[in-house]
Structure 1
Amino acid sequence: MLKIAVIGLGDVSKVHLSTIRSNPDVTLVAVCDLDESLNKLVSGVKFYTNYKEMLENERLDCVHICLPHHLHYEVTKACAEKGIHIYLEKPLAHTMEEGLSIVRLEERLPDVKICVSLQNRLNDTFRVLENEVTSGRYGKIIGIKGIVTWFRPKSYYYTKAWRGQKEYAGGGVLINQAIHTLDLIQLLGGEIESIRGKLSNLHDYNLNVEDTAVVNMYFTSGAKGLIVATTANAIDSSIELEVVCEQAQFTIRNEALYKYTADEGEVKLIEDEQFQGEKFYYGAGHHKLINQFYQCILKEKSSYIHAKDAFISLRIIDAIEKSSIEDKEIILAEKISN
């Protein structure tokens, strides 16, 4: 029986807690948050306001870190150096430097497993999409498009002020909302040759992070990628991921995967499983990845999303930011591949 703790009881922690409670192989023994009023979410579980005290007092197998981005490295390091496995919410970190430090930590402590929550890789729609487009049946990938058009009110950034400050969040819509779509695009497209992007703010929220991004990616395969992301839409519209191959077009929208060919027209291939009671865009990916990670701990396996895998998204976001500031295409000196 694995002993689990959660550090940070913000919005996404509810998904983690639900999954922990539903798994018969684990038990939640402690949680930690600065806000003591949140102990009502986890009655019967030991509540801490200082994570260092929790790590000293509890014998833990795995800690879920659901904290603001700038705390990811500090807390991951503290857990890892005590030999505790870590399930880390995205992003890996708020800067390239701290993200690389977590990768180095993973290399230095190989007996400690660090799984990063890029859970959309496990969505049924994406897994089928990836199999279809890499099968070779439909020719080469020509283009990949990702669309994330959501809405966040001013209160979203000011009730939790770290979200609107680059020194704490590391960025805006790209690192917080669109990072999953960036991750899936790079998995499909492979090695990236260059990036050109523009970051801006459509809302007058007085933020120093972007609420809107438009990006072109150029892959060494010859394929082209386009990403449009914003939190300035009227609503949270369905995320769209489109892959155009030589003989077919695939689109994920409204949590379903469609294939279009000239002969068959449009056909629905599969729908995503949903995690009941949570925001629609969470889906069931958290549940799958968390449970998969527990099995990796129990059975000494390594089939989870490592820090080095999640670092790729930070490199992409860094290149986009540089392109926007310098108003030019950024050539990637090193390979970005998994």
Structure 2
Amino acid sequence: MNCVRIGIVGLGNMGTLTANFIHAGEIENCVIGAVCDICEERLLYAKTHYAEVPAACIYTDYLKMLETAPLDAVYIAVPHYLHPEVAIAAFAKGLHVITEKPEAVYTEAARRMNEAYDAAAARRPELRYAIMYNQRTNPYYQRIREISSSGRLGVLRRVIWNITNWYRTQAYYDSSDWRATWEGEGAGVLLNQSVHNLDLWQWMLGMPRRIRAFAYEGKYHDIQVEDDVTIYAEYACGATGVFMTSTGEYPGANRLEIQYDAGKIIYEGGLLRIWSLSESARSFSDRTEQPFSAPEISYEEAEVPGTETAHRGIMTNFVNSILRGEPLIASGKEGIYALSLCNAALLSSWKDDWVSFAAETDCTDPLLSYEKEYKARLDRKISDTAGKRRGSEKKRTVFLDLAENASGGSLGSR
């Protein structure tokens, strides 16, 4: 194989964005092999914009597409609840899969996706499964991860991430019937926007031992789901963390501060500042006889080469992994970790109590003790809000002009 033929399931916002850059030739050795959507407007768009796709390869039924279209891979860009069923069906056909985030709405569904991939990969070891965690292509986050894993600044002591630059208007939430509902989307800012940051948090620093969260539903918008969240975390090493996010603050902020026992990192506004101590603060404290002295310290403003390649970077990496075995930047199986943080944060807020990850702190086994309780409470949320729309009663699907770092598209549209 020297070219990947990809089928796009969902021509909403993200599906159209992705199809457009593949169509434009921005992903080497990749072509649109088929598209699927249940919206006639989106199918007409595909027919008029993607001349390379034969009429016979434009579908309203993704199962028929998987059965009959000449494909090597599938890109999933449908509403969150539908990710598992499309991915599992694609794996059963021996197809490579890349899914939009989140992997699923709740971890039990993500686990089924991962198990379906494992079963398919056992039959076909070269099979690839990726997730669109596009912010992992940011070279600054990559550098922070390298520093943390190297131990150069010592043991983690504290992390504070104020990530409130996800501002959204009521018109955004009114753009589609499924948005901002428990039944349609499954959660709010944690699942649809800040899942990127939750992924980066655990990717750079590992999973915490337990969390306590406060999620406010409809605080800034007329919606069912959360739009303002604060999470407090504790790590097995004794470190603590605070994660704050919202879609209702403007101007928002994106400030990440990480304190280690031998240094500190602050990343904000594209500037990475690093403080390094000559020895750990604790060891210096234990040995010095001077009450007001401190370790020697060095400071640098790190210049990190490269730029964030975002969606194009993840898609290029996915194609290169299929064709040349390049390691995946964002394995689909890793999607369960950020989803675990999201589910646990909501459950913690609903219970007004801690939620523990127990043995999962090293991310080797995502089996979570609270999984069934979370699903039961989510089902209750859905039942309690069924037929009780919030916001405009005249909601309709609107295809938004997405910024490059936006995420988000009917079995056809996301």
* Fold in common (TM above 0.5): yes
Query: Counterparts of 2:174 and 2:325 in 1: how far apart (Å)?
Result: 42
C-alpha contact (below 8 Å) 1:195/1:215 kept by paired residues: yes
Residues 1:97 and 2:108 are matched in the alignment: yes
Aligned counterpart in structure 2 of residue 62 of structure 1, from 53, 73, 85: 73
Q: CA RMSD in A?
A: 2.2
Give the C-alpha shift of residue 264 in structure 1.
4.6
Query: Counterparts of 1:50 and 1:140 in 2: how far apart (Å)?
Result: 51
Give the C-alpha shift of residue 85 in structure 1.
0.7
Give 2:330's aligned residue.
Answer: 305
C-alpha contact (below 8 Å) 2:97/2:128 kept by paired residues: yes
Give 1:12's aligned residue.
Answer: 14
The one-letter code matched in structure 2 to 1:26 is C
- Superposition map of 1:202-241 within 5 A: 203=219, 205-235=221-251, 237-241=252-256
Calculate the TM-score normalised by the size of structure 1: 0.89
C-alpha contact (below 8 Å) 2:221/2:248 kept by paired residues: no
- Superposition map of 1:123-142 within 5 A: 123-142=138-157
SS in 1 for 2:145: helix
SS in 2 for 1:138: coil
Segments of structure 2 that go 5 or more residues without pairing to the other structure are: 277-295, 365-414
Give the C-alpha shift of residue 160 in structure 1.
1.4
C-alpha contact (below 8 Å) 1:124/1:271 kept by paired residues: yes
Give the C-alpha shift of residue 11 in structure 1.
2.0
Which moves more between the two structures, 54-63 or 264-273?
Answer: 264-273
Deviation readout 1:245-277 (Å, 9 max, x if unpaired) = 22332222234433245745561433762xxxx
C-alpha contact (below 8 Å) 1:196/1:216 kept by paired residues: yes
- Superposition map of 1:177-326 within 5 A: 177-201=193-217, 203=219, 205-235=221-251, 237-260=252-275, 263-265=297-299, 267-270=301-304, 273=307, 283-300=308-325, 303-326=328-351
Residues 1:27 and 2:24 are matched in the alignment: no
Query: Counterparts of 1:191 and 1:87 in 2: how far apart (Å)?
Result: 24
- Does the C-alpha gap of structure 1 residues 259 and 213 become closer, same or farther in structure 2, counting only changes over 3 Å? same
Identity %: 26
Between Structure 1 and Structure 2, whose CA radius of gyration is higher? 2
- Superposition map of 1:36-55 within 5 A: 36-38=40-42, 39-40=44-45, 42-44=49-51, 45-46=53-54, 47-55=58-66
Query: Counterparts of 2:220 and 2:253 in 1: how far apart (Å)?
Result: 24
Give 1:86's aligned residue.
Answer: 97
Query: Counterparts of 1:183 and 1:130 in 2: how far apart (Å)?
Result: 12
Deviation readout 1:73-106 (Å, 9 max, x if unpaired) = 1111121111111110100001222111101111
Give the C-alpha shift of residue 195 in structure 1.
0.6
Query: Counterparts of 1:136 and 1:37 in 2: how far apart (Å)?
Result: 53
- Does the C-alpha gap of structure 1 residues 331 and 23 become closer, same or farther in structure 2, counting only changes over 3 Å? closer
Aligned counterpart in structure 2 of residue 172 of structure 1, from 175, 185, 188: 188
Query: Counterparts of 2:221 and 2:94 in 1: how far apart (Å)?
Result: 42
Give 1:153's aligned residue.
Answer: 169
Give the C-alpha shift of residue 202 in structure 1.
5.3
SS in 1 for 2:88: helix
Deviation readout 1:267-306 (Å, 9 max, x if unpaired) = 1433762xxxxxxxxx522222211111211134553533
Which moves more between the two structures, 263-272 or 292-301?
Answer: 263-272
Give 1:327's aligned residue.
Answer: 352
The one-letter code matched in structure 2 to 1:225 is G
Q: Which has the higher contact order (CA 8 A, sep 6+)?
A: 2
C-alpha contact (below 8 Å) 2:317/2:326 kept by paired residues: no
Give 2:4's aligned residue.
Answer: 2
Query: Counterparts of 2:305 and 2:111 in 1: how far apart (Å)?
Result: 36
Calculate the TM-score normalised by the size of structure 2: 0.73
SS in 2 for 1:142: strand
Give the C-alpha shift of residue 62 in structure 1.
0.9
Which moves more between the two structures, 34-43 or 73-82?
Answer: 34-43
Give the C-alpha shift of residue 17 in structure 1.
2.7
C-alpha contact (below 8 Å) 1:181/1:241 kept by paired residues: no
The one-letter code matched in structure 2 to 1:226 is V
Deviation readout 1:199-253 (Å, 9 max, x if unpaired) = 0035454422100110011111221111101011124x35332222223322222
Richer in strand (by share): 1
- Does the C-alpha gap of structure 1 residues 81 and 239 become closer, same or farther in structure 2, counting only changes over 3 Å? same
SS in 2 for 1:199: strand
